[in-house]
Structure 1
């Protein structure tokens, strides 16, 4: 069965919301105007309970189905959308381009927020479910761990959320299609900074120095051995050195060098292996050359891990919306990260990709969310709520 008729009817209105949000992007936790817009819409729809300031600037709306009352003990599921934008200057040339220099919705969170608002309007009108739906509007997905902030602020316990679901648009997946998989669907994105302290001197007398550039150059190559020779070949791991800073002149060997990079893994075991081997390689190689080192290793969000039972539900709902031929139930995982992973560690649930067609890639100044995806997203959210909270 294709998209819901009411979702198609809402397409134009929700597109207007989406383009307004696109023109007014906000970054990380500073989503005050966006959160106010969301809360105003939820009030307009007649949502039963609206709470702001969860996880600093997050918004939660509760819609109770038939027979559900506050404190009645009926089941509650959470549906999550992210609200924040990126620190980029937009180059789309659209007539609704960002009005805020240096900020743009280059990941489609304007679309995510608008689709969930569209579903909220529909669900508040019909209430064709038994239980409650928690509409979760999250700040700071782009590197700010907003999902963790909301979880630590008591999101799940306060609203009695038993399952939680997320959705993200994906360029390259055709419009009208969904993609999902059980287990790890997005990677744990960790980062590291290695500082090598040697002994600087004249470039013509390297024997009187401990050259941190030479040591760092060997480290860059040695770190690749972790994926090539330490990790199980069937376990995904990416280690990329993305920055190397050292020196001030052509004839001076500096005292220090700094290397930065990222580690992406799809299991906690491989994640531990990668961090441990980085530390061992750095300590051993640097010591062998008589230098010193420090390692700042930061674990960001965990693997975005879809739970089996809830993924099965998500697949059935997506199939109901677009047909089985348009649902990839075993999509290849991506090594990008997603902080919805914190919510999936707190409660069982599933994260699904919705097709955004042939657009520019995410995090690109020419990217734009395709409004034709809106009705599909609304239909998915509505049918998921009605399916999981059916009598």
Structure 2
């Protein structure tokens, strides 16, 4: 079958949309320009209903198929960018200083718009397609915001599908993991209140930097000495902030980072041990230490049967040789997991040219992925809502 005809004919348009979105990235919950373009395009394509302001800056489109069926399939794409200064040198590089589509959400938004154009023009399905353009995926709780705003109460879905680009240098390679596919994540902030002094008289201090450095090392024992080697877990300290002068021992220091896991009880144990270590360090050094943790992403669970359905739909577009069932999940996280906790569905990856990883200032999307992803998303609707006869 290959690329769907309507989408194939729209490749140039989709590429221009993508480049425009890439040049004008917006951080989560500020995607005002992006969501306005999405809503405008959906109306231009003849989508039956367009709802704006869902979860602050989210957009939902409704397309009814030729048949009168009651089943509803959701398609979701994220829209937000990251606080990264772009270094790609592309002619359509970010015009917003310090903000970049370094995760490819601009491509996800464009692909779902391509699917919308095809589905609205052909309507070769029996039921309803629900198009979900989500804000603030990058750790800001956009999925939870849309759910709290009644996403699936207002726009019910029987199943829902998402997609992420994969810069693996393997264009059109579709990959999926059944069951637990992506890790859950908690973020933590540790605040150490010590006693400052002149840098020449450290004996007068209770140095929070020394404490922070020692605590950073001991936090690594949570995984190596408290977790079963069969339970995947990551504890990463990613920030250490302290001091502002060469000759001053500071009063305070702050550590921050993330926990990644595939079982809720593993995360709970890691958070408990982190707080116990902080309490112990506070007692040992005679300082105050507070440890705050907060869940950001749930474990992403793909429904086994719907994963098979997604693979079948992808095979129609890229060929079965390019469809891969993967065995190993990844430690990265994705807030589409929150939608999958409410509605069964599946989340896949789609390979493209280039191998610079996401969240890198030199990351680039291969625009050739756009009609491929759009076709797969449209095809899963047609396959799951087939017309009779």
Give the TM-score normalised by the residue count of structure 2: 0.93
Deviation at 1:87? Answer: 2.4
8 Å contact kept, 1:173–1:354: no
Aligned to 1:327: 323
Aligned to 2:349: 353
Q: Relative to 1, partners in 2 of residues 1:124 and 1:211: Cα closer, same or farther, differing over 3 Å?
A: same
Deviation at 1:331? Answer: 5.1
Q: Relative to 1, partners in 2 of residues 1:15 and 1:191: Cα closer, same or farther, differing over 3 Å?
A: same
RMSD of aligned C-alpha atoms?
Answer: 2.0
> Counterparts of 1:94-109 in structure 2 under 5 Å?
94-109=90-105
Partner Cα separation in structure 2 for residue 74 and residue 87 of structure 1: 42
1:187-226 CA distance string (max 9 Å, x none) = 2232211122233446676666544333322211211111
1:65-98 CA distance string (max 9 Å, x none) = 1233xxxx70111100111222233222222222
Partner Cα separation in structure 1 for residue 375 and residue 43 of structure 2: 21
User: Is 1:298 matched with 2:298?
Assistant: no
> Counterparts of 1:196-207 in structure 2 under 5 Å?
196-201=192-197
User: Is 1:126 matched with 2:137?
Assistant: no
8 Å contact kept, 1:184–1:267: no
Aligned to 2:360: 364
Aligned to 2:303: 307
- Can you give the 5+ residue segments of structure 1 that lack an aligned partner in the other structure? none
8 Å contact kept, 2:6–2:117: no
User: Is 1:271 matched with 2:286?
Assistant: no
Q: Relative to 1, partners in 2 of residues 1:207 and 1:298: Cα closer, same or farther, differing over 3 Å?
A: same
Partner Cα separation in structure 1 for residue 265 and residue 75 of structure 2: 29
| SS in structure 2 of the partner of residue 75 of structure 1 | strand
Deviation at 1:285? Answer: 2.9
| SS in structure 1 of the partner of residue 219 of structure 2 | helix
1:103-162 CA distance string (max 9 Å, x none) = 222211111111111111111111111110001111111222111111111111111112
1:251-301 CA distance string (max 9 Å, x none) = 654433222222111221211121111111211232133322111212212
| SS in structure 1 of the partner of residue 158 of structure 2 | strand
Work out which of the residue numbers 326, 332, 339 in structure 2 matches 1:336.
Answer: 332
8 Å contact kept, 2:169–2:355: no
Aligned to 1:135: 131
Deviation at 1:100? Answer: 2.6
Deviates more, 1:25-34 or 1:131-140: 25-34
8 Å contact kept, 2:354–2:364: no
Partner Cα separation in structure 2 for residue 375 and residue 346 of structure 1: 29
User: Is 1:226 matched with 2:246?
Assistant: no
8 Å contact kept, 2:8–2:371: yes
- Can you give the 5+ residue segments of structure 2 that lack an aligned partner in the other structure? none
1:163-201 CA distance string (max 9 Å, x none) = 111101011151111111012222223221112223344
8 Å contact kept, 1:239–1:263: yes
Deviation at 1:246? Answer: 3.2
Partner Cα separation in structure 2 for residue 258 and residue 18 of structure 1: 39
Aligned to 1:50: 50
Aligned to 1:74: 70
Partner Cα separation in structure 1 for residue 7 and residue 123 of structure 2: 15
Deviation at 1:318? Answer: 1.8
Partner Cα separation in structure 2 for residue 321 and residue 390 of structure 1: 17
Partner Cα separation in structure 2 for residue 32 and residue 212 of structure 1: 42
| SS in structure 2 of the partner of residue 74 of structure 1 | strand
8 Å contact kept, 2:317–2:376: yes
Q: Relative to 1, partners in 2 of residues 1:131 and 1:226: Cα closer, same or farther, differing over 3 Å?
A: same
1:298-337 CA distance string (max 9 Å, x none) = 2212122212222221122222322332122115322222
> Counterparts of 1:13-52 in structure 2 under 5 Å?
13-52=13-52
Q: Relative to 1, partners in 2 of residues 1:38 and 1:209: Cα closer, same or farther, differing over 3 Å?
A: closer
Deviates more, 1:96-105 or 1:51-60: 96-105
Number of residue pairs the alignment of both structures matches: 387
Partner Cα separation in structure 1 for residue 234 and residue 265 of structure 2: 14
Aligned to 1:191: 187
